[in-house]
Amino acid sequence: MFASRRALLIASLALLALAGAAWWLRPAVDALAFIARAASLPGTLATLAEWRAVPVTREPVFEIDTRHGAIPARLYRPEGAVRRAVTLVPGVHMDGIDEARLAGMAEDLAASGIAVLTVATPDLQRFRVTPASTDIIEDAALWLSAHSGLAPDGRIGMIGISFSGGLSIVAAGRPALRDHVAFVMSFGGHGDLPRVMRYLCSAEAPPLEDLGDIVARVPGASEIVIQPPHDYGLAVVLLGVADRGIVPPDQVERLRSGIGIFLLASSLAAVQPERAAAEFARARDYAGMQPEPARTWLGWVNDRAVGELGPRLLPVIDAIGGDPVDPALSPERAPAPSAPVFLLHGTADNVIPSTETVRLAAHLERHTTVHALLSGLITHAEVDRPPSTSEVWRLVTFWRHLLAR
């Protein structure tokens, strides 16, 4: 009898060990499946992604009221129990919640058992980074946290892509929201907006030697490559500072309109090349009809003349950096969230340099838990590089922590 009891005890302990292993491994398996879906990985990983995916309902667009007016939103609801609800906000892109990569990420997250609310701010759709965008992100997150069917504990996750990543961190630290946030994630985001603008104008990012051992502690930080800035980002900078003496006051809106046409064409280039070509032609025609100096500035924009634009904008950006910059635009200038922060960035990002994630991690870790990763698989907020085993495992580890929140 003693032997049978001993065998039963051993069997029970084995079952508990297996259950514990399954409990620990589930977030890792879900993370690997999510990455396999997001990066369209082939073979066995594709089978795993399909096996772990739950059906998702993409609900019709509806409106959420914010202090800056009603904004469109869409909910991606997984079948069965919802493990967590998150807001997902795109960066500077005209398509807002209809942007294809954003919708794909929302589907992939929802297939992991997470309800995803996509919202876009009107200013970011107009290629403008403004404090109103931070307000809207905060209001949308508060709306979701009050939705008992999706957030029964009153807490949600927040994910922002590109510039909305930094703005989401600012929103998560505000008094009305901070107790309702389970985690906040910045995907290719910024820590300090004037510093990013200076990089876009000068192709230089401050070195990281002043941050102590942070480079050794952030995976991938030692692999950072500072690239020449993308002309798209520099056009966004010019759009934002057009009223800073770049042109006479009566030409400001003309200059902004011309930049807007160029940015619209750039956004279309990858998905609708024929329409993009027509818009690029319209941008050149529009520039030719403008008075000087707006005509010259728009000529540089249309010619992607980073070497002409950057040096001329740099003094303007340096002046802004000395201004009392609105803390709503930069997480390093705003109260930090109390929730864990997840920072993901490409090692060679040429819109927002990956040094921003390292500096932001160093700033935030004095206030909260920070999980940061720089990956060679990512360009600017998009997983689109050939995978390696080590890089995939880093991403799995990162997403395992996030999906377990």
**CA 146 – CA 320 distance, rounded (Å):** 38
Identify residue 231 by its one-letter amino acid code. Answer: D
Range 34-38 contact pairs with CB under 8 angstroms and sequence separation of 24 or more:
34/108, 34/109, 34/111, 34/112, 34/399, 34/403, 35/383, 35/392, 35/395, 35/396, 35/399, 37/108, 37/111, 38/104, 38/105, 38/108, 38/383
Tally the residues of the chain: 405
Phi, then psi, of 57 in degrees rounded to 5: -105, 120
Other CB atoms closer than 10 Å to residue 254's CB: what's the count?
Answer: 21
Residue 403 is predicted with a pLDDT of 84
Q: Is the C-alpha dihedral spanning 315, 318, 324, 330 positive or negative?
A: positive
- CATH, range 52-223+326-403: 3.40.50.1820
Q: Consecutive sets of 10 residues in the chain, 405 residues long: mean pLDDT of each?
A: 44 39 51 58 50 80 97 95 94 92 90 93 94 97 92 95 97 97 97 94 90 88 91 93 94 97 91 93 97 97 95 89 79 97 95 96 96 86 60 83 85
Q: Is the C-alpha dihedral spanning 373, 374, 379, 384 positive or negative?
A: negative
Query: Where are the CATH 3.40.50.1820 domain residues in the chain?
Result: 52-223+326-403
Residue 23 is predicted with a pLDDT of 39
